[in-house]
Structure 1
Amino acid sequence: MPTPPVNTPNSICVLRLSAIGDVCHAVSTVQAIQRTYPKAKITWVIGKVEEKLIGDLPGIEFVVFDKSLGWKAYRQLRQSMKNRRFDVLLHMQLAFRANLAAFFIPAKTKIGFAKSRSKELHSLFVNQHISDSRGFHVLDGFRDFARAIGVDEGLPEWDIPIPHEAKAWATNFLPKEPFVVISPAASKAERNWATERYAAISDYCHELGYQVLLTGGPTSFEKHLCADISKASRAYTINLAGQTDLKQLLLTLQKAQLVIAPDSGPAHMAVTQNTPVIGLYAHSNPNRTGPYLYQRFTADAYTALACKELGVERQQIPWGYRLKGDNLMSAISVEQVKSLIDQAIDFYGLEQPAAEQSNPE
């Protein structure tokens, strides 16, 4: 166990409201803090949706900040923080709404991101900054918050509870045979791969002998996307779009042999369950936001596109630089993803059922 600093914090507040992927990154850091300071009282100010995924983490008090309430959310936060004062606030979000929330959290020490990465008035709401990150990935930046209070964690670890209700659901609805999950929808439509390419990968997974599950949220767009992929696939797919809550989805990702997804929450949820992920990236840097433990299996169109747009070498791409465009994902080919699937199966020794045989008419 790492040696705590002389001034061991007794009360710690974590401020990370969203999104699902970033909250998953933060869990490993917060749980490392718990292992180092088991007696510290930890409070996490978190978004309403994100709390549904991790609100049952043991030993942590969650204060829900519902951004849909507007100014009322800040009044509620101020009320919940009345008569409190934390030893330290770990302000782990740059968005202005989070910066404003930090104003209502009383803490002796308020630690924020490095000045070089500060934006949206972030520096005005903290009195200390972490050093420039040792790593490029968002999760590495979160790990620097832990280091700032004396926690020197090793490889990231996650322990997110899965309730009995979700396990009972899985027994009834998930296939017993090995399966691959395709989670096709990102938060922005431009980050989604083409329907026919997802369908081609679904068919390839079937050829390898896997069942294929399509997952997605309850939005009309996600349901239609998954339905279109299912319709375009030659082989049968199990379409779970809109039919799982976050805990059920987490367990589905845990039980999968492999997950294929663009830059999205489910990709990072799968990482917390140690399920290999093939990420599809063209708009954001996979070295910064890719599936942390599985970056070697990312279909990366971003790097070449960013270098061309900026006229620089890959190591000169600015941190956080994003590309925009509706057709960027077309730079990722079906054959590229097939090759990554083969590599992941071989590298991780994934359970591979007998390949599909065509039945004579």
Structure 2
Amino acid sequence: MTGRVLVARLDNLGDVLLAGPCVRAVARSADAVTMLVGPRGRAAAELLPGVDEIVCWRAPWIDPEPAPVDAGMIDDIVRRIRALRVDAALILTSFHQSPLPLALTLRLAGVPWIGAISDDYPGSLLDLRHRVDGDPPEALRGLSLAAAAGFRLPRRDWHPRVKHPLPGVRRLVGEPGYIVVHPAASAAARQPSAATSAAIVRGLTEAGHRVVVTGGPGDTDLTHAISDSAGDPESVLDLGGKTSLPQLAAVLDNAAAVVAPNTSAAHLATAVGTPVVSLFAPVVPAGRWAPYGVECLLLGDQAAACRGSRARTCPVTGHPCLDSLDPDQVVGAVAQLTPGHSPEEVDRNDQRLAS
């Protein structure tokens, strides 16, 4: 299939990053790729190889803080898509989202061919109704839709990636080889408490690591609290709110390993090839949402009572799936993932994990 192809992923940064393999598959044979994203995902779309143009629109059936639906809002996006003269569209959604509202909108905009993953009967809204068995990683789920539409990517290239070159960040972080701790996630249920994150940072500095704490503009109170209580200020750098997304990608690229919950920074680390210690709350399936494509060690009680709840606020007193983590577990996991550690160091950390 050639011509101009629209790829839609309307939710968050991490979701858009995981759409990257699908986008690259389409870009291999399409004349141009337009990506339709929500405002929460736009910065990630700007980093994806293969994207020629970005259209940003807040979908009221996807955004977690949606505006009321009105005819003018729909008329606006229909007019904008119609002006693009799109030849085909692929709609990427999470398993709990329906592609059909957007498919209807794209039909009204005159898009002649539309494909999506859909369990619901689509009538004439879809030309390709794709089904996915099991619970594959989200990047592969989206890539399977591209393959069903005739867009293929070599097996060696199935992981998320970002455009290079990335900006220089040496003046922010100094020499490469530090450990990044990114404590925040978009839902409170998916991140450790500030006290747990601070204890993890203390454990890493006591093990001899230099630690960089990262976060977005809304995370500065959290990153400041963690950095201030984490021990030796010479060994901890607080970058909360101080980086753009491309700069954060570069900071992660220069790290020896990243410690993060289920959040976009974990997927961004994957996209630059840095190993991840994933502090994963089981409110969503790890098989689908854990970092895919790099070395990753998964920590957190995956059988906790919150499992599969999709909760945004932890429903279990004490947040045990993450706040019961021993910082030594994280230090040991970092030792296993970090090149340059001596076998003796790894053995000592293995013994601490086992004790």
- Matches of 1:103 and 1:264 in 2, distance apart? 30
- Match of 2:102, as an amino acid? A
Q: 2:315 aligns with which of 313, 320, 325?
A: 325
What does 1:104-183 align with in structure 2 at a 5 Å threshold? 104-105=105-106, 106-115=110-119, 125-133=125-133, 136-153=136-153, 154-155=155-156, 156-161=158-163, 166-167=167-168, 170-183=169-182
Aligned to 1:45: 36
The more displaced of 129-138 and 248-257 is 129-138
| Superposed displacement of residue 172, structure 1 | 1.9
Name stretches of at least 5 consecutive residues in structure 1 with no aligned partner: 1-7, 311-319, 356-361
- Matches of 1:159 and 1:341 in 2, distance apart? 23
Aligned to 2:9: 16
Aligned to 2:352: none
Deviations along 1:232-280, one digit per CA (max 9) or x if unpaired, are: 2112211111111111111111111111111111111111000111111
Aligned partner of residue 86 in structure 1, secondary structure: coil
Name stretches of at least 5 consecutive residues in structure 2 with no aligned partner: 60-65, 346-355
Aligned partner of residue 142 in structure 1, secondary structure: helix
- Matches of 2:123 and 2:192 in 1, distance apart? 37
Is the 1:100–1:125 Cα contact (8 Å) retained in structure 2?
no
Summarize the Cα distance change of 1:112–1:228 in structure 2 as closer, same or farther, 3 Å threshold: same
- Matches of 2:216 and 2:147 in 1, distance apart? 35
Deviations along 1:312-334, one digit per CA (max 9) or x if unpaired, are: xxxxxxxx653552514224332
Deviations along 1:288-319, one digit per CA (max 9) or x if unpaired, are: 110112475011412x225xx78xxxxxxxxx
Summarize the Cα distance change of 1:232–1:59 in structure 2 as closer, same or farther, 3 Å threshold: closer
2:29 matched to 1:61? no
Aligned to 2:197: 198
Is the 1:29–1:143 Cα contact (8 Å) retained in structure 2?
yes
What does 1:180-329 align with in structure 2 at a 5 Å threshold? 180-219=179-218, 222-236=219-233, 237-282=236-281, 283-294=283-294, 296-302=296-302, 304-305=303-304, 322=310, 324-326=314-316, 327-328=319-320, 329=322
Summarize the Cα distance change of 1:73–1:50 in structure 2 as closer, same or farther, 3 Å threshold: farther
C-alpha RMSD of matched pairs (Å): 2.9
2:43 matched to 1:28? no
Aligned to 1:4: none
| Superposed displacement of residue 183, structure 1 | 0.5
TM-score (norm 2): 0.79
2:329 matched to 1:341? no
Is the 1:287–1:295 Cα contact (8 Å) retained in structure 2?
no
- Structure 1's consecutive aligned runs of 4 or more residues displaced over 6 angstroms after TM superposition are 95-98, 121-124
Summarize the Cα distance change of 1:96–1:113 in structure 2 as closer, same or farther, 3 Å threshold: closer
